[in-house]
């Protein structure tokens, strides 16, 4: 079965390609490498001992997509391609609306044209905005607080309208919580450009000596230790959730939260990382980061019930595997 993976060279995409190959799928990737390196796919091929067909192209390029759908018997699409940095989206909203919305629009048009109507879409817990209650269920109200989140929300709405207009579509909206970790080999992992915005790559770069100390954004939240709580999920568990969504047989559109259901504070993550890796993470408390919420964690019981999926790896595993990747590749893929 041939699967098209958009953005397959990226962090979550590369881990998903590996799981797909291991499960016997044929994988075709389209990626413009705007935030990734081809070497990630070379390493996936090496780990799986199988090959990937790679197209270096932009998903906004309709002719490139038509060429792929003409040359391959694509049966389903997993759509990861997109820009994902919240802060950058506030500074460059037009780039985010253009890249994320136009690429999705062109992709869905071409899928319709070639009657390929099974889609797994990378959405995000960001569509819940500032959650009223935790754990968050899929029925929680949707709202956005930044242009990146707005693109996810608009694409979800676009897909709901497509499914309403044509009942032969099968669409999963996977709302990820906080993906961290790496394949246990340490050969593929997250390789952010510049200084990381997210907690785990920041911690690993402090551990590697690239950054001096972690700034803990606020210790005055209403949480057990005052620092912000998130639902960290191992990227390999997340990747496996995509395979479950591909195998799920239904018509229409369904949203699924992919998280562990366990909330961990910033200080919990730092202390677990220290235990898992034997390193010391220098850190200091600073002011809250604007826009952050106190608590965000998932109720993932719908994914368990309908997809038969649950996250298996612990925060300890996530920290250990993140560090394995960072320590084996101190400067990321290319440097
Ligand atoms: P990533 O940046 O590592 O991967 C995205 C990939 O898409 C990159 O390889 C990039 O080169 C490619 N790409 C971007 N625009 C493209 C275009 N127009 N045409 C072709 N390729 C394009 O990001 P990731 O962390 O792997 O995230 C994958 C998806 O999951 C994204 O849609 C992101 O919004 C979503 N998501 C990520 C997180 C997270 O914390 N990592 C959380 C929730 C949702
Ligand atoms: N944090 C720090 N110091 C840092 C970085 C983060 O204390 O240097 C704290 C944050 O305040 C927050 C927690 O660590 O309490 C997690 O922050 P991240 O930046 O790692 O993740 P967010 O929850 O802010 O956002 C992530 C993605 C978004 C996505 C969201 C929900 O970056 O794209 O999860 O899926 F929308």
CATH number for the domain spanning 134: value is 3.40.50.720
How many independent structural domains does the chain possess?
Answer: 1
Residues listed for the chain: 335
Look at residue 326 and tell me if it is in a domain: no
Given a cut of 90, whether residue 24 has pLDDT beyond it is yes
For residue 17, being part of any structural domain is answered with yes
Q: What residues are labeled active site?
A: 148
Is 244 part of any domain? yes
Helix axes 103-113, 62-71, angle to 10 degrees: 40
d(CA 59, CA 82): 9
What residues contact 219, with CB distance under 8 A and at least 6 apart?
A: 225, 226, 227, 285
What would the DSSP string read from start to end of 106-159? HHHHHHHHTT--EEEEEEEGGGG-S-SSSSBPTTSPP--SSHHHHHHHHHHHHH
Given a cut of 80, whether residue 335 has pLDDT beyond it is no
Whether the Cβ atoms of residue 228 and residue 214 lie closer than 8 Å to each other: no
pTM for this prediction: 0.98
Is residue 86 situated within a structural domain? yes
The answer to whether residue 218 is domain-embedded is no
Instruction: State the residue range of the domain holding 69.
Output: 2-183+232-260
Residue 117: inside a domain, yes or no? yes
DSSP, collapsed to helix, strand or coil, labels residue 57 as: coil
Ligand 1 atom at shortest distance from the alpha carbon of 57: 20
The answer to the question of residue 39 being in a domain is: yes
Quote the tokens at residue 133: 């209650």
Extract the tokens encoding 88: 């950058």
* pLDDT tens string 144-190: 989 999 999 999 999 999 999 999 999 999 999 999 999 999 999 99
Q: How far is the CA of 92 from the centre of ligand 2 (A)?
A: 19
Any atom of ligand 2 within 6 Å of the Cβ of 244 = no
Nearest CA, atom 11, ligand 2: 217
User: Taking residues 272-291, what's their average pLDDT?
Assistant: 96
Query: What average pLDDT does range 259-264 have in this prediction?
Result: 98
Give the DSSP letter string of 13-27: HHHHHHHHHHTT-EE
Packed helices 235-247 and 11-22: angle between N→C axes, nearest 10 degrees? 60
The pLDDT of residue 334 is above 90:
no
Q: Is the pLDDT at 254 greater than 70, yes or no?
A: yes
Residue 328 in any domain: the answer is no
CA of 177 to the centre of ligand 2 (A): 10
Mean pLDDT, rounded, of the chain: 97
List all residues whose CB is within 6 A of at least one atom of ligand 1: 7, 9-13, 30-36, 58-60, 80-84, 99, 103, 122, 124, 176, 179
CB-based contact 85:149 (threshold 8 Å): no
Cα of 198 from ligand 2 centre, angstroms: 5
List Cα–Cα distances, 152 to 80, 95, 117, 156, in angstroms: 11, 14, 19, 6
């Amino acid at each position: 079965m041939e699967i098209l993976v958009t953005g397959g060279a990226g962090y979550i995409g590369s881990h998903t390609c590996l799981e797909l190959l291991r499960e016997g799928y044929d994988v075709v990737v389209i990626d413009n490498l705007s935030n990734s390196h081809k070497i990630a796919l070379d390493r996936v091929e090496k780990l799986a001992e199988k090959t990937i067909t790679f197209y270096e192209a932009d998903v906004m390029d309709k002719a490139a997509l038509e060429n792929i759908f003409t040359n391959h018997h694509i049966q389903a699409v997993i759509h990861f391609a997109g820009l994902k940095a919240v802060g950058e989206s506030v500074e460059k909203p037009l780039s985010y609306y253009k890249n994320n919305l136009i690429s999705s629009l062109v992709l869905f048009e071409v899928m319709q044209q070639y009657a390929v109507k099974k889609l797994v879409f990378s959405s995000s817990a960001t569509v819940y905005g500032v959650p009223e209650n935790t754990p968050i269920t899929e029925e929680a109200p949707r709202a956005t607080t930044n242009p990146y989140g707005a693109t996810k929300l608009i694409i979800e709405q676009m897909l709901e309208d497509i499914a309403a207009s044509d009942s032969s579509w099968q669409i999963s909206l996977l709302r990820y919580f906080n993906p961290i970790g790496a394949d246990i080999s340490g050969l593929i992992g997250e390789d952010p450009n510049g200084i990381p915005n997210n907690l785990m790559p920041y911690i690993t770069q402090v551990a590697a000596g690239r950054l001096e100390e972690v700034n803990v954004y606020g210790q005055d939240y209403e949480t057990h230790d005052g620092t912000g709580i998130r639902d960290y999920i191992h990227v390999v568990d997340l990747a496996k959730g995509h395979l479950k969504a591909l195998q799920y047989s239904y018509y229409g559109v369904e949203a699924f939260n992919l998280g562990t259901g366990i909330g961990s504070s910033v200080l919990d993550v730092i202390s677990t990382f220290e235990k898992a890796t034997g390193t010391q993470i220098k850190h200091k408390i600073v002011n809250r980061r604007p826009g952050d919420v106190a608590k965000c964690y998932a109720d993932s019981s719908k994914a368990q019930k309908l997809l038969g999926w649950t996250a298996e790896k612990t925060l300890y595993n996530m920290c250990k595997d993140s560090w394995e990747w960072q320590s084996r590749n101190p400067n990321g893929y290319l440097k």
